[in-house]
């Protein structure tokens, strides 16, 4: 559920107001990024093991004398790089793009907050950054970009890997086809993480869970700026297109596990998801406001004692 509303020209992460807000009114919360990042990391660690990610990505480094070149789409404040760069290892060069320049300006602060990292001085978006740790060093170039209008202008033939986190459910079929065409034309590998698959499992259950889930799912499929969003269908659609283009495709579950009993962070995450789902459902279907509001109240009242599993899928595609 990458929970929360999509924004126009979607960034990789959304604010907890109800995913699927129309592109013209979508909003973003930096607080939401910080709240979800540890849950993302745990989910991705599990998927990485199943995907044999480190081993398979090592095959991309064909020339030890040059850095591995990575393009990060809808990069937000950099959670994807902070998780992935240590696992890629060695010398790396990243081009990170997002339509929101304010998010790109957050990068130096977020990188500096990682223990043991080193960042370049930042005098603006045109200043290069670096992120380093045991066994890896990544140079970083940030670039504001409209991914709907400018996708094909990226340096595809210079890249080894294109990646994104929590993006696919915000895009439409035509945009995915463009992504596959650009990647396949340049022989670029692809890693798309934390893509929603529509599963929301509450423990204990509530009689209105299924209804709110359905309303929320319908709300997800609005246009976020990259075509009418595919939501949970994005991974199957992308997989079919990639395999048709000759890619070897691997997938693994990367579910969020949010357990209110575990403490304040999980409770805050669960409350944010409840608020996001309720807001989205009411916004899209005002006639359901009364019942959804009642569900919201019950869920918030029991957030410290309930658990939520949110289904996600990670997808790795290697050129055939």
Specify if 34 maps to a domain. Answer: yes
Mean pLDDT of 74-83: 94
Lowest mean pLDDT among 97-106, 139-148, 178-187, 242-251: 97-106
Mean pLDDT of 230-237: 94
Specify if 219 maps to a domain. Answer: no
What pLDDT, on a 0 to 100 scale, did the predictor assign at position 228?
82
- Total count of domains within the chain: 1
Which segments of 245-288 does DSSP mark as H helices, in order?
Answer: 264-284
Give the alpha-carbon dihedral of 262, 268, 269, 273, to 10 degrees.
130
Specify if 275 maps to a domain. Answer: no
Structure confidence by residue, pLDDT tens digits, 37-62:
999 999 999 999 999 999 999 999 98
Specify if 173 maps to a domain. Answer: yes
In the block, residue with structure tokens 């300006």: 105
Specify if 37 maps to a domain. Answer: yes
Per DSSP, the residues of 60-91 read: T---TTSPEEEEETT-TTSHHHHHHHHHH-EE
* Confidence label for 317 from pLDDT (cuts 50, 70 and 90): very high
Specify if 130 maps to a domain. Answer: yes
What pLDDT, on a 0 to 100 scale, did the predictor assign at position 205?
96
What pLDDT, on a 0 to 100 scale, did the predictor assign at position 211?
93
Specify if 12 maps to a domain. Answer: no
* Confidence label for 263 from pLDDT (cuts 50, 70 and 90): very high
Structure confidence by residue, pLDDT tens digits, 2-25:
544 333 334 433 444 333 333 332
Q: Which domain holds residue 146?
A: 30-200+230-256+311-319
CATH classification at residue 37: 3.40.50.150
Specify if 217 maps to a domain. Answer: no
């Amino acid at each position: 559920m990458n929970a929360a509303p999509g924004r126009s020209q979607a960034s990789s992460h959304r604010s907890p107001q109800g995913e699927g807000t129309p592109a013209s009114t979508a909003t973003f919360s930096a607080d939401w990024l910080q709240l979800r990042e540890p849950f993302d990391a745990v989910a991705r660690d599990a998927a990485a093991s199943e995907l044999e990610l480190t081993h398979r990505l090592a095959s991309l480094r064909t020339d030890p004398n040059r850095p591995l070149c990575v393009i990060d789409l809808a990069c937000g404040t950099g959670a994807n790089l902070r998780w992935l760069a240590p696992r890629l290892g060695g010398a790396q060069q990243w081009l990170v793009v997002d339509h929101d320049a304010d998010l790109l300006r957050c990068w130096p602060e977020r990188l500096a907050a990682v223990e043991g990292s080193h960042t370049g001085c930042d005098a603006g978006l045109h200043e290069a950054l670096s992120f380093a740790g045991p066994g890896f060093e990544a140079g970083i170039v940030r670039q504001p970009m409209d991914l709907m209008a400018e996708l094909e202008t990226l340096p595809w033939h210079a890249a080894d890997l294109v990646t994104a986190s929590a993006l696919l459910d915000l895009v439409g079929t035509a945009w995915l086809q463009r992504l596959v065409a650009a990647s396949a034309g340049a022989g670029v590998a692809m890693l798309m993480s934390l893509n929603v698959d529509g599963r929301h499992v509450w423990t204990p259950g509530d009689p209105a869970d299924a209804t709110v889930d359905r309303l929320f799912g319908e709300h997800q499929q609005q246009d976020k700026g990259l075509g009418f969003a595919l939501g949970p269908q994005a991974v199957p659609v992308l997989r079919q297109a990639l395999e048709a283009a000759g890619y070897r495709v691997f997938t693994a579950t990367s579910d969020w596990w949010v357990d209110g009993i575990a403490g304040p962070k999980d409770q805050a995450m669960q409350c944010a998801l409840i608020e996001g789902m309720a807001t989205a459902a009411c916004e899209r279907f005002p006639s359901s406001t009364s019942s959804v509001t009642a569900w919201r109240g019950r869920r918030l009242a029991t957030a410290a004692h309930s658990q939520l599993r949110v289904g996600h899928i990670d997808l790795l595609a290697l050129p055939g």
